[in-house]
Amino acid sequence: MIAPALTTALAAWLDHQRALAGAAQNTIKAYQTDVLGFLAFMTQHNGDSLGLGPIARVTVRDMRAWMAHERGRGVGARSLARALSAVKSFYRWLSEREGFEPTAVLSTRAPKFQRKLPRPLEEAAASAMIDTVELQSTEPWVAARDAAVVTLLYGCGLRISEALALTGTDVPLPAVLRIIGKGGKERIVPVIPAARNAVEAYVDLCPYPTAPDAPIFRAIRGGPLSPRAIQKVMEQSRLQLGLPATATPHAMRHSFATHLLAAGGDLRAIQELLGHASLSTTQAYTAVDAAHLMSVYEKAHPKA
């Protein structure tokens, strides 16, 4: 059983992450699940109620036992590394508040894992995706809507949630958009003419009025457009184009970043455009670009 004092402390830490660190709701839920799982294991591991005292006395051996238990029940290295990161963050905050030494927890090494690289589309495939998406509906305004959304993903590097969050106050699209991304972080994104024109063409055809506080992109019956609708139309398009299952809405955002980098874009500037909190996240695109160059080299270089 987890003692009430520890449960209260966990709730206070989650509130801190939500309010001060600006963590998104999905992130908060993941933190809660990961830390509760850790605390539940330590309760069973110690065979007694787990309160602030016992949690402060967790040893390196205890941490190894938890990690071995997680791997034994099939938790992957990436997921375990994420859980350990949440536990460390909670311990760092709790130790400062309660005045104990958290070294045993903070010194625990995360398991190594191969980072999955983003899978962007080739430039020609990204353009073909936009064109093919527009052909999926016989209703002109729906066709224009889908093309406009996918153009925003590729042309401005928006997440699908960010594109669908645009409202009537954003029409007509300005030269730059002020986007509120993950964790409430704000960034400025330039709007290319193709994106501005695509949205304008959709708005002109849309049968529903554009209200300042209503979303621009509407479903058939006038409600807010769901991400699933765009995912579905891209699924249909990629089958027609013979593209892999990785050709998703988020892949268009990856393509935006990778193609900018290949064209000589500055990594730090691309980080700002994408709204990545850490440069290390954006640096994954350098590996993608290197992988692409090696692929071209291997195809062009004569084999011995």
Active-site amino acid positions? 159, 182, 250, 253, 276, 285
Distance, in Å, from the CA atom of 298 to the CA atom of 291, rounded to the nearest integer, reads 11
DSSP states of 81-101 as a string?
HHHHHHHHHHHHHHHHHHT--
Helix extents (H) in 119-226: 123-133, 140-156, 160-164, 193-205
The two structure tokens encoding residue 85: 């990161």
Amino acid at 151: T
Q: Residue 154 in contact with residue 130, Cβ under 8 Å? A: yes
Q: Rg of the chain over CA atoms, in angstroms?
A: 24
117: left (phi over 0), alpha (psi -120 to 50) or beta: beta
Sequence-separated (6 or more) residues with CB below 8 Å from residue 202 = 141, 144, 145, 147, 148, 216, 217
Residue written as token pair 């029940």: 73
C-alpha–C-alpha distance, residues 173 and 169, integer Å: 9
Cβ pair 156, 168 in contact under 8 A: no
User: Nearest-CA neighbor of 3 among 65, 46, 61?
Assistant: 46
Quick check: 82 and 36 in contact, CB under 8 A? Answer: no
